[in-house]
Each structure stands twice: as structure tokens, then as C-alpha cells.
Amino acid sequence: MRSQLPLTLHLLPWVLAGAGCSSPALGASESWKRIVLVELFTSQGCSSCPPADALVRDLPRLGFGRARVLPLTFHVDYWDGLGWKDPFASVVFRRRQEWHAQSGTLRDPDGQSGLRGLYTPQMIVNGVVHFLGQRRDAALSETRRAAGGSSPITLIAEAAITGQVINVGARAAFAAGVDTTEDWKLIVALVAKSARTHVMHGENGGETLDEVPVFAERWRWTGVGLSIFTLYAAVM
């Protein structure tokens, strides 16, 4: 049976040297100039993380739907030794968090730069501002602020499904002054819209965690239809 994927191709503004992306076809208001990437580094083994996951899940209800905000949750692996191994955790996501920490571009909402060590839940808005992921006030205000900036790239993407194979094509339009000789890469992410896990042990033992949208290094969910996934495309 052919699985159906609701292909809403969005532009993920993975930030490199301050560069981001936007798509004018998403119907955002004139004051909302770009789609904002919100990354949450989390873990099922961290007792402070469920409120941050709930905040990400609540973004559409707060007016930050996919036409304005693209959230991704990355499950890190450094809490896996506390009695519960997070099934979505990966060293790849820890390395991405380390890359952010070592980039020298992160600051807190008060403008203080620098970061000592990794922590969860950590929310990063457009690769620039970081704070505790359960801080709703900071998340909403920093997302609105990031949406007011311009973007040097517009991505036009298309996708087609043949059985379980997804073919993606994209064209990128660069604004004047953007260095097109850099090593730009197209990134396509397939993420689960939602996931529910009953945690048996660890700091969240006995809890049932609902998380959205869950990014996995390699999807190992056999027999799961593509209808629960959303496809994102990005220029990096």
C-alpha cells in the first residue's frame, strides 16, 4: 500500500555565519519577514525537559505555526546513563549542540555572549540566541525579534513520492551581495510530527512524554506510514 506524506516543503534557516532562509510563499504577514528556526536540545532522561517539549508542542496554538516557525527537537545522548536510554538520542545531535557552543555566535537574551558547557533543555533561535527551553517569555519574544530580519536566500522546493522513495528538487535564489562561492548544501530533514514514549526508568520514570517534532538520525520505525512525517528542506 502506498503511504501518503503531506509534503509541506519549508525552508529551514540553519544559520551559518549569520545566514538564514525564508520563503515568501507561506503567507506570513508583512511584519513577519522570515521563517524562524527554533531548535530544542532535549532528552527523555532529563527531568527539566518535558516543560520545554510542551512549549514547542504549544507553539502553533500561540500563533507560531509552520508558516512562521519551524521547530526541531534534537535528543542528545549525554543523559542516557541515568537509567533511561532515550530512543531518539544520537551523538550526532550532541555534536550539533557542541557546534553551536563552539561557534562563538551564541548570546543570551540579555546580549551576553559566550557559553560554558552543554545543557538541556536548551533552545536556540536562528542559531544566535540561546536560553532555557522552558522559558516561554524568552522563546516568544526572541522568535518575534528574529522574524523581523531579512534573509539572503529564498528556496523553491518540490517533492514527489514513489512508494517509500521521496525525490526532492530545489532552486535557491540568492539576494544581492551574498557570496555564492561558499560551499552551500541542501539539507532535507524527515521528522516525526509527534511521538509518545512511556518512560520506564530514570528521572522521568513512570511518565508518558509527548514530543513534537522529533528529528531522528536514522528512522528505524518499520511499518510506520509516511503520513506521520513532515519533510523539510534547507539551504546550508
The tens digit of pLDDT for each residue in 221-233 reads: 444 444 444 555 4
Find, among 186, 208, 180, the residue nearest to 196 by Cα.
208
**CA 81/CA 11 separation, integer angstroms:** 35
As a whole number of angstroms, the distance between CA 12 and CA 15 comes to: 9
Task: Specify the long-range contacts of residues 52-56, CB closer than 8 Å, at least 24 apart.
Answer: 52/121, 52/123, 52/132, 52/133, 52/134, 53/121, 53/133, 53/209, 53/210, 53/211, 53/212, 54/210, 55/133, 55/134, 55/136, 55/139, 56/133, 56/211, 56/212
Cell numbers at 126, concatenated: 536562528
Residue 117: the pLDDT is: 82
Give the N- to C-terminal CA distance of the chain in Å, as an integer: 35
Length of the chain: 236
6 DSSP assignment: -
SS3 163: coil
In terms of phi and psi (left: phi > 0; alpha: psi -120 to 50; beta: otherwise), the region of 233 is beta
| pLDDT score at 66 | 82
H/E element holding 52? helix 49-58
DSSP strand pairing (21-22 vs 153-162): parallel
- Please give the pLDDT value at position 171: 78
Can you list the residues of the chain whose pLDDT is less than 70? 1-30, 185, 216-236
**pLDDT for res 86:** 95
Is the overall model pTM greater than 0.85, yes or no? no
| pLDDT value, residue 223 | 40
> Among all chains, which residue has been given the C-alpha cell 522570515?
34
